[in-house]
Every structure is written in C-alpha cells, then in structure tokens.
Amino acid sequence: MDNDKDPFYYSNHHELNHSSFPFFMDNHQSTPQNFQGFFDPSLHGNSMDCNTLSIAFDLSCNSTSEVISSPIDENYKKHISAGDLTMISENQSILNSSLSSSSNEADQVVTEEDSAKSKKDKQPKECEEDGDHEKSKKENKAKKKEKKAREPRFAFLTKSEVDHLEDGYRWRKYGQKAVKNSPYPRSYYRCTTQKCNVKKRVERSFEDPNTVITTYEGQHNHHCPTTLRGNAVTMFSSPSLFGSTSIGPSFPQDFLAQLLPSYINQNLRNHNDQNQNTMLFHNQNLVHNPQLQLQNQQQQQLQFPRDNGLLQDLLPSFQGRQEP
C-alpha cells in the first residue's frame, strides 16, 4: 500500500497533525455537537459521529468553542436567515450558527431556496428555443409549482493558490460572476459526463485570499473518470470508520465516497508542498437538536466573517434523502 498517500494510513497511525492539516483547530476547539449535528444518525439516518471523524482526521472533540468576532453586516444577516451552518476553517475552528429559533423557520428557508433554485433548471430548453414565449411562460409557471428536491451541497475550504482544484472529475466551466463585495469572481462548473448534473462553484475567500471555497451540488452518477487514489473511497465507505454496518446506501457516506475521494487524496497529496488543506461541514438540521439549540442560544454572540453570500446557500435537504 502506498502509505504516503493513503488517508486511512494517516488516520490510523495518527500521523496527521496540525502541521499537516492546519485547517484543523489549533487547540482542539471543536465541539462534539457540531459534528454530531452533521453526522447524527437520528438526523440523517446514518451512524457517523464525531469520534470516528475525529479519529479519521486526528481531530479531538471537546466542549470549548472559540467565538469569532466580526462586524454584523448584511451578509451576516443573510446567514442568520439562511439557517444553521457549521463550518471548520483554519483559524477559528468551528463557526457555528443556529440562530433560527424554530424548525418552521428552517423549513421555510429550504422551501424558499428550492423555489429560488428552480429557475431555469426546471425550464425545458425546447420552450426557449422555439420562440413560443407565451406557451413557455405558462409551462414555466406550471413547473414552478412543482417542488423538486434540492441536491445536497457541500462546501470545502481549501488552502490553495489554485482556484480550480483537480478532484478527479472532469468539469466544464459554464459561467463566471463577480461576487458582490469581493474582488474575486465565482466560477461555475458542471460535470462533463453525460447525464451527470453535478455542479460546483469555486470562489476565493476575499477575507483570506489563500482560501478557496468550493461548493459541490449533487451526486455523481458515475465513477471518477480519473481515479487518483482509490483508498479514500474505502475510507468513506468503511463501516469501521463511519459506524454501523446496517446503514444502507444513503447519504452521507455514499455522497462523500463519491465526492471526496480524489479531492481528499488531492489534498493529502499536496499538503506537503502546497500547504493545501480542506474541510467543510455544514448542517441545517442543528436546529432540530435540542441540545444544540440550547448551546446555540448560549452562543448568540457568535458571529461569522462575511462570505459574500455563498455559504448561505449551503442548505441541503437531507430530510428527503433519509432512508425510507
């Protein structure tokens, strides 16, 4: 086995440390609840927990959390309205927000996002091309009423000088937009594989220009065309790592297994020479966890740095993806 590139080897031998993964908190300031919010089987029908994750990444869980201070601005307000989000970043460990006060609010956020997201994705291309605008509008209106389950989204914070990181899949850039209040544009990519509608957005954090924010949306329905290192697939699919063997093929293991392997491997491969590191966590379901609610009520002074509106979109509808 090529131990130098095998994340399992790293994790099992505790050779990953903060020098090799600087995005992990310097003082082990993660809260177990934060991880459980994301991996809580009761929420997602899965059996991952902070321990397995922490073991996997040499990450310790304790109960302290650093509070990040930054001015509250409009973007921050958007975060609040967008719901819950947990994110690991290099300096501040976990930025935790669960300022929605009720599940109803959280649900509404998802609904609104679904509505906003629908747009052209739901519009048949033919209608636009044949020029029958009246007919097209009517059909579009009808389509808008149909609720479509939103694809899960995951954002990665990566220390890299390269914007578009090689993740093993082939992507075609289909758009680029200037980001408000940021000198760095946001790029839009689509998986080039036919019938695979996975998208990703890449933008550079304007607060930390060394950090690239990559947001994946959807799941690949095919194998990685360029298998860089296959070990991470095993890693993220492994019951020994992610808990129960009784869990079926469901999110997030499968998703992670499809999404992360080459990406993680890429980071592992590059971390020595590029200081490039990555991780993301997000969770809209924290609000459903009473313990977390209490904790977050106690942390209402917690504040986010601005992210120019990207992270507010990280609200996957996990509920619709749970095991039947």
Partner DNA sequence: CGACTTTGACCCGCGC
Partner DNA sequence: GCGCGGGTCAAAGTCG
- Residues of the shown chain interacting with DNA in the complex, contacts defined by CB under 7 A: 81, 112, 115-121, 123, 125, 128-129, 137, 140, 144, 164, 170-180, 186-189, 192, 199, 201, 308-310, 313
Q: Which of 197, 108, 119 is nearest to 151 (CA)?
A: 197
Q: In which residue are the tokens 């609610």 written?
A: 293
Q: Which is nearer to DNA, 15 or 121 (CB)?
A: 121
Q: In the complex, what is the shortest distance from the CB of residue 98 to DNA, in angstroms, rounded to a whole number? A: 19
Q: In the complex, what is the shortest distance from the CB of residue 191 to DNA, in angstroms, rounded to a whole number? A: 10
Q: Which is nearer to DNA, 295 or 308 (CB)?
A: 308
Q: In the complex, what is the shortest distance from the CB of residue 176 to DNA, in angstroms, rounded to a whole number? A: 3
Q: Which is nearer to DNA, 221 or 240 (CB)?
A: 221
Q: In the complex, what is the shortest distance from the CB of residue 173 to DNA, in angstroms, rounded to a whole number? A: 4
Q: Which is nearer to DNA, 158 or 215 (CB)?
A: 215
- On whether the CB atoms of residues 21 and 58 are closer than 8 A, the answer is yes
- On whether the CB atoms of residues 279 and 18 are closer than 8 A, the answer is no
Which pair of tokens denotes residue 39? 């991996």
Q: Which is nearer to DNA, 49 or 307 (CB)?
A: 307
Q: Which is nearer to DNA, 61 or 213 (CB)?
A: 213
Q: In the complex, what is the shortest distance from the CB of residue 120 to DNA, in angstroms, rounded to a whole number? A: 4
Q: In the complex, what is the shortest distance from the CB of residue 70 to DNA, in angstroms, rounded to a whole number? A: 18
